[in-house]
Structure 1
Amino acid sequence: IKRAAELIDMRKHKGAHPRMGATDVCPFIPIGDADWKEAVTCAKELGKRVGEELKIPVYLYEKAARDPSRANLAVIREGEYEGFFDKIKKAEWQPDFGPNEFNAKAGATAIGAREFLIAYNVNLNTKSVRRANSVAFDVREQGRVKTLDGTPTGNPMVDAKGNPIRVPGMLKHVKAIGWYVEEYGIAQVSMNLTNIQETPLHAAFDACHESATRRGLRVTGSEIVGMVPKKCLVDAGRHFLQKQNWSEGAAEEELIDIAIRTMGLSELKPFDPKKKVIELKIEATTPKKSLVKMDLRRFCNETLSESPAPGGGSVAALMGALGVSLGGMVANLSAGKRGWEEKLRYFSDWAVKAQRLKDEMLSLVDEDTVAFNKVMAAFGLPRGTAKEKSARKAAIEAANKLAAEVPLRVMRTAAKAYDLLAEMAARGNPASISDVGVGLLAVRACIDGAGMNVRINVANLKDEKGKTSLSNKVQVFTEESEARFKEISKLVEKKLKG
């Protein structure tokens, strides 16, 4: 904020987007373990510093707002930079922090705590800002002012209090305007999606497409400004597959690709998920050795080497993932089977469940090796002094417990696959019954193998109560697995015999 105030002179600034300061807005968005209380505290602490140290008027907004009437950023921005010279003099527009007079060079800054906001622009096959605004007014929550003659330039209709009567737009939690982008030579509908749970990315795209088509325009593509949570594109991919009457049980990578292609996110510039999707960006910038990212040959070579990891635990988890994948494959094949159109949603739902379960199993492939490595690291701790010996002993116990708990999770997670395989054996495409059978064998092997890994790590525990509890759980999971395996095997065998 300080640097922006040094470099940007608002007295010389012009632009199409509403703004009121060199740093127009600074939001805090809680992610991971952070909560709203922390975000609001950060917003207020920063606002206080900006006001006191930089002498810039600060307005708190959204969840950090002190005055509910000023929670909406658009309300604070109203009048923009040019109007703030008079606006700040009004009692109701005294800043939350900083001087009560406008900073001509730096303007004012809004600081707050809010939900994740997506800045999203939809490209139109026109250069007309007026026509782009027509689409923007159709889709945005605020809609448009109702006029007496029904034309955009007509006299506004007002209520008993003299306030303009508005026709609501198609989408909640959406702010939108039309503008012309000289760099691309096109007009866009520029939107802020302020609640992506209520109005997801694909809903905004579809609404613009519907409005544009109705007005004789065409949506040619779109762009995401900044970054986006992975869920937005995954959900969009599923949505577009559903519109195609196709199974939604695709891998995340494929769903993201479908979303990019359908919404034309690469029309103006290449859309690289590793740079634009938050989770993938973090993953790309913090690389770590991952078994599931190896190709098959390298994974087998790594397993075959003299290194003790990956070992039986990771291989067991991988077998479970493969078993689930076969069940999901049968679900997808059944969803796309000609003549079974009425069963599409049923099998698609199972394929989606399979994808999620497969991803969970794959994460356990790496977790098992990580747990084993922690055991090895604990044994490598120094033991020269009594204190070091005590710390080493505690670390070994904790590591052995974790090394037993991870394969137990593998057993519990893999057991969920039996429901999938049972459904596919009973109702799936009969031509794929052998795939169900192989998947069944893989899941059973996974559970039995993971059970062995629990038992070998439990043997090293000193905590007798914990040891007994884990051993009992292994026995229960193993017995339940064997019962489900026999039940589904009978059905598979029956169908194989015709």
Structure 2
Amino acid sequence: MRKIVECVPNVSEGRRREVVEKITASVLSVPGVFLLDTEMNPDHNRAVITFIGEPEACLEAAFRLTKTAAELIDLNQHQGEHPRIGATDVIPFVPISGVTMEECVELARRLGKRIADELKIPVYLYEQAATRPERVDLGNIRKGEFEGLREEIRRDPARAPDFGKPEIHPTAGATVVGARFPLIAYNINLNTTDLNIAKKIAKAIRFKDGGFRYVKALGFEIREKNCVQVSINMTNYQGTPLYRVFEMVKREAERYGVMIKESEIVGLCPINALLDSAIYYLQLDTFKLDQILEYRLPQTKSLASFLGELSSAQPTPGGGAASALSGCIGTSLLIMTANLTIGKKGYEKVEKEMRDLKDKLESLSSRFYNLIDLDSQAFNRVMDAYKIPKERKEEREEAIEEALKGASAVPYEVLEKAVVGLELGKVNAEKCNKNSITDAGCGVNFLLNAAKGAYLNIAVNLAGLKDEEYKETKTREAEALLSRAEILQREAEAIVLRRLRE
């Protein structure tokens, strides 16, 4: 199982989009990291950035984010409703799959030390990474905020950081790094401007004042919406569900003659947290998760998931699957150009032909998509065959021979389908909407890449066969198909270039 970590840095900027975009760009500069979400709040003057990846990649991305934020944010000029002590205020690591909490704690410690050593920003560890009981709670670390910490860090040994000198960075402040379970940032807005009411309700529900065990809450003024807000961090939605907090806030608000205006979730949220609330309010006492339609649909991989697997140290998916994906992308581009031609003025004469072309391309694209997984499955059978003990020589050799033929058959079909796609692509290039002619050109080039990649995978699998006649026949056929693909691509691209000059 791949190791996947979620990282959710909170930076002290929620008003200047260009600054936040530069910060997220630093995250995306790290290979293997996928940006899931960016939430900006101008009243809080804060952005919550969520990304995932393998542990080392996430650590590097978090460091680059902190460095960029330190260069672009000056806390001396910062004002916002949300408490903060740093330009990059807090960086939690969350275990998602194949990773333990202990590994996330170690990540937090390594990142904290690096930030302090290289950026000269003092770092505090919190939650599961905390080195002192009082630092488990983020609120205790942020007490006094940037302005208060600036003095206290020097004179109060209890405020000394875990990493770095007891001296705050002049503009970037300090940073809190830790490891925690999935957290839900949940806000409830009240239809009043009385901040005292929001603060009283926040006190009633938060754990440190006798409220719910897994709730942290504060009251804020939200000028943009002319209301006040109970801002809540749900640290364990299973221990304290969303609906229970909502009902308590609603009841407390009614004591003051106030109603809930709306609620919101900031950033990402586990689906079960929402399902729990739906089941509660609809009183679905016997409801089971497998009744959810989407849960019963065939599982499909996201592009991010596929690329993550493709870049891993595992042998599958590999070049064969990538070639099938290239075919899928190529046909999809040609389908797009067909859609941009059908029904458009000036292309009435070719509409029927383009509709027929589109139908053929859609069938082809669907097959390419299936071949992505089929290629991995075929190669997995080759690896299984090689695992048969050498003592069972005859059985092993027969299994390897059969598996290698199967492993060459899938890319052979990709190569065949790529040639068909290029034939259709050549017609498409001649008759599609001229405004999409470059998309057609890209489509045929993706299909040629599919053909070339498939040919290489055929060659490598045929090389291990002992059946010389089969090997020679399939090699000859594959060479002819590749030659045909290259000719079709050149002809199609010539049409594209000609139409561009017309």
Give the structure with the higher percent strand. Answer: 2
